[in-house]
């Protein structure tokens, strides 16, 4: 595999992960949460991920596995890998306690809530474990972005953008409780930034563990698993988060727009 392709895949994963820093910066610079924009953006991100997962990634995984294992066995392995990806991210989601979950919704206005500050100072007892839990939660996203970029750079770019969009409100969600716990804005930004670095770390771990054994079969299984991870993230995190911001219709409009943008880009660059 060409070094340039691997470096580009790492670069895309890093940019997607560091978008948490944008969200953290917004939490400290803005005075109000733009719920309409966030709902639309989260919906758009979900639309991109759902469309590319079912139309492109699942299909390419099935194609690779059928070529290696035959039509029947290849299709079975594709489906099993798809649902295994869903199972992996669901299991990780279960291991992260609710108030430490980076996908729990918070608003910028909470930064000025003194009562909320005291509440989180009482709740937030686990310090470094919280940062570790956040990092573990973001590992599969990094692997998903990296694997997609290795297989098809155009798909990798689309997924990196979608993951990056959804990491912006995640940065807010990480910063708010950590600021409540410490009263330190720099520390809140640092941990938010650090949680984003878990995504390129996930890509690096996947590369070191899996690349020596890479074949069409392994790539097909990985690709199908990536599709499952992204569909689960979209349905379990992005769309519910958009609804929690109180703009249900905008999230659906964003979903349709995301699908349309992804479809158009695939047509133009086919």
Name the binding residues.
Answer: 138, 141, 166-167, 170, 199
d(Cα 240, Cα 17) in Å, to the nearest integer? 21
Q: Which residues are annotated as a binding site for Zn(2+)?
A: 141, 166, 170
The answer to whether the beta carbons of residues 215 and 22 sit under 8 Å apart is: no
For residues 116 and 36, what is the distance between their CA atoms, to the nearest angstrom?
Answer: 24
Helix residue ranges per DSSP H, the chain: 3-29, 35-52, 58-69, 71-95, 114-123, 128-151, 153-182, 185-210, 216-233, 239-244, 248-268
Query: What is the Cα–Cα distance from 12 to 149, expressed in whole angstroms?
Result: 8
Terminal C-alpha separation, the chain: 22
What's the token pair of residue 203?
């890509």
DSSP 259: H
- Give dist(CA 144, CA 233) in Å, integer: 11
Please, how many CA atoms are within 13 Å of residue 166, restricted to the half-sphere of its CB?
35
**What are the backbone angles phi and psi of residue 120, rounded to the nearest 5°?**
-75, -25
Annotated binding site for Fe(2+): 138, 141, 167, 170, 199
CA distances from 239 to 203, 247, 263 (A): 25, 10, 20
71-95 vs 128-151: helix axis angle to the nearest 10? Answer: 160
């Amino acid at each position: 595999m060409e070094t340039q392709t691997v470096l580009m895949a790492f670069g895309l994963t890093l940019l997607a992960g560091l978008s948490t820093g944008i969200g953290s910066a917004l939490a400290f610079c803005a005075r109000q949460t733009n719920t309409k924009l966030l709902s639309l953006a989260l919906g758009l991100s979900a639309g991109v991920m759902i469309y590319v997962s079912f139309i492109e990634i699942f299909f390419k995984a099935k194609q690779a596995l059928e070529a290696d294992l035959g039509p029947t066995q290849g299709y079975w392995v594709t489906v099993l890998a798809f649902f295994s990806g869903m199972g992996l991210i669901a299991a990780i989601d279960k291991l992260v306690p609710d108030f430490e979950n980076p996908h729990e919704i918070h608003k910028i206005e909470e930064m000025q809530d003194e009562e909320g500050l005291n509440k989180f100072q009482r709740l937030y007892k686990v310090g470094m474990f919280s940062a570790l839990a956040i990092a573990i939660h973001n590992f599969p996203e990094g692997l998903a972005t990296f694997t997609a970029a290795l297989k098809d750079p155009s798909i990798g770019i689309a997924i990196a953008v979608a993951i990056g969009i959804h990491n912006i409100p995640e940065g807010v969600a990480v910063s708010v409780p950590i600021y409540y716990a410490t009263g330190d804005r720099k520390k809140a930004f640092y941990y938010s930034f650090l949680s984003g670095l878990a995504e390129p770390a996930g890509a690096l771990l996947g590369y070191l563990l899996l690349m020596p054994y890479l074949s069409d079969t392994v790539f097909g299984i990985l690709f199908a698993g990536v599709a499952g991870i992204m569909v689960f993230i979209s349905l379990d995190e992005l769309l519910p988060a958009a609804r929690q911001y109180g703009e249900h219709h905008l999230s659906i409009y964003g979903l349709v727009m995301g699908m349309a943008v992804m479809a158009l880009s695939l047509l133009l660059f086919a």
